[in-house]
């Protein structure tokens, strides 16, 4: 067996109205929100952007919070320090191209490419014989800007766009042999849907046979609203790996590295928590 990938995650499309110039206090909730979608500006409602000109928001301190045109033009959002936070382009009222997100220190957060890292000292995984890698964890502080939210549902799309691509809301994951690319894009076209097995709130135990080995899914108590508890055991000869902290899952086979044989990929997601992880298992 070559690779097995585990996933969880998504990002909502949130819109917000605005007038030409805005000042005001944020609520405590708004002060804690840090997603790139513009939700941090909620509470300032008014006219939509005009087809021409520039709209501006201000922090209570007077520094610029956001400016631009979300009909035809460029839109930028800023930290209170003045450093750029988000940059987007709009055409005919629709976002065009990719969203770019930055940390306050100026390093780029999105798009980003995460190299695989060996999975060590993880109490949720019992491994005997497999090489296990973590590709993504939405709880990692570096990924805080990604808000999975309500998009962790059956609307998750698994696509063959010449390479494996998974769309969760406006997030696109591109799978490379040793890395994962993360993009926020306006164009979410799917060239070919990939057939998958999906498990959420089922009860009992199910066994699936794949080219890469046997998968046993043990259905336990529901963890929270819309999320099952489905530990997964994978067996290939004398190799066994057991993932005990699995919620809802999707799995399928795909030749990620174009090496002539398919890998087994598993998406593991928690809709009630907006949480996603990605693992890869290599024999």
pLDDT in tens, the chain (283 residues): 444 444 433 333 333 333 344 433 333 333 333 344 444 443 333 334 445 678 999 999 999 999 999 999 999 999 999 999 999 999 998 889 899 999 999 999 999 999 988 888 788 889 898 878 888 888 887 777 787 777 888 788 999 999 999 999 889 999 998 899 999 998 778 889 999 999 988 778 999 999 888 999 999 888 888 899 999 999 999 999 999 999 999 999 999 888 898 888 889 999 888 899 888 887 7
Do 79 and 203 reside in the same domain of the chain?
no
> With contact defined as beta carbons under 8 Å apart, do 7 and 275 qualify?
no
Q: Is residue 16 part of a domain?
A: no
- My answer on whether 173 and 201 are in the same domain is yes
Q: What pLDDT is recorded for position 33? A: 33
Strand ranges in 69-225 using DSSP code E only, listed in sequence order: 73-78, 84-91, 94-102, 108-110, 112-115, 117-118, 125-128, 131-137, 157-160, 164-168, 171-176, 179-184, 197-199, 204-210, 213-219
Contact 268, 248 (CB under 8 A): yes
pTM of the model: 0.77
- Let me know if residue 120 belongs to a domain: yes
Q: Are residues 117 and 78 in the same domain?
A: no
Residues 51, 141 within the same domain = no
* 177 three-class SS: coil
Tell me what pLDDT residue 158 has: 93
Which of 39, 74, 108 terminates a domain? The answer is 108
Domain end marker among 86, 108, 130: 108
d(CA 224, CA 277): 17
Q: Please indicate, yes or no, whether residues 132 and 265 belong to a single structural domain of this protein.
A: yes
The answer to the question of residue 46 being in a domain is yes
Q: How many domains does the chain have?
A: 2
Q: Is residue 59, in this structure, part of any structural domain at all?
A: yes
Instruction: Report d(CA 229, CA 231) in Å as an integer.
Output: 6
Q: What share of the chain is helix, strand, coil (3-state, %, to 5)?
A: 5, 45, 50
Residues 81 and 120 in one domain: no
Last residue of one domain, picked from the residues 87, 108, 129: 108
Q: Is there a domain that residue 251 lies in?
A: yes
- Clarify whether residues 122 and 254 are in a common domain: yes
What is the spatial distance between Cα 167 and Cα 156, in angstroms, rounded to a whole number? 6
Are both 45 and 127 inside the same structural domain? Answer: no
Query: Could you tell me the residue range of the domain that residue 173 belongs to?
Result: 4-11+113-282
194 domain-assigned: yes
Residue 154 and residue 247 in one domain: yes
Residues 160 and 173 in one domain: yes
Instruction: Count other Cβ atoms within 10 Å, centred on residue 24.
Output: 11
Task: Please name the helix (run of DSSP H) or strand (run of DSSP E) that holds residue 279, with its range, or none.
Answer: strand 275-282
pLDDT at 281: 80
Is 215 a member of any domain? yes
Residue 104: inside a domain: yes
pLDDT at 89: 94
What pLDDT does residue 123 have? Answer: 83
Same-domain check for residues 71 and 187: no
Both 201 and 230 in a single domain? yes
CA atoms of 240 and 257, how far apart (whole Å): 23
């Amino acid at each position: 067996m070559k690779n097995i990938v585990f996933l969880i995650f998504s990002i909502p499309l949130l819109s917000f109205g605005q007038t030409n110039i805005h000042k005001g206090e944020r609520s405590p909730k708004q002060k804690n929100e840090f997603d790139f979608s513009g939700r941090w500006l909620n509470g300032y409602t008014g006219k939509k952007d005009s087809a021409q000109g520039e709209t501006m928001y201000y922090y209570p301190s007077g520094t610029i919070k956001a400016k631009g045109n979300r009909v035809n033009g460029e839109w930028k959002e800023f930290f209170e320090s003045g450093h750029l936070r988000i940059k987007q382009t709009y055409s005919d009222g629709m976002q065009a191209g990719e969203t770019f997100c930055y940390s306050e220190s100026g390093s780029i957060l999105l798009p980003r490419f995460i190299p695989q890292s060996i999975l060590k000292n993880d109490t949720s995984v019992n491994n005997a014989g497999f090489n296990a890698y973590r590709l993504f964890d939405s709880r990692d502080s570096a990924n805080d800007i990604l808000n999975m939210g309500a998009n962790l549902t059956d609307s998750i799309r698994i696509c063959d766009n010449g390479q494996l691509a998974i769309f969760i809301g406006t997030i696109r994951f591109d799978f490379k042999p040793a890395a994962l690319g993360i993009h926020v894009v306006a164009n979410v076209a799917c060239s070919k849907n990939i057939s998958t097995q999906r498990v959420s709130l089922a009860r009992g135990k199910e066994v699936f046979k794949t080219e890469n080995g046997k998968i046993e899914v043990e259905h336990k108590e529901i963890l929270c609203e819309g999320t099952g508890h489905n530990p997964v055991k994978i067996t290939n000869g004398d190799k066994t790996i057991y993932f005990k902290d699995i919620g809802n899952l999707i799995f399928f086979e795909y030749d990620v590295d174009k090496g002539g044989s398919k890998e087994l990929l598993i998406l593991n997601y928690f809709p009630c928590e907006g949480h996603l992880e990605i693992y890869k298992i290599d024999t």
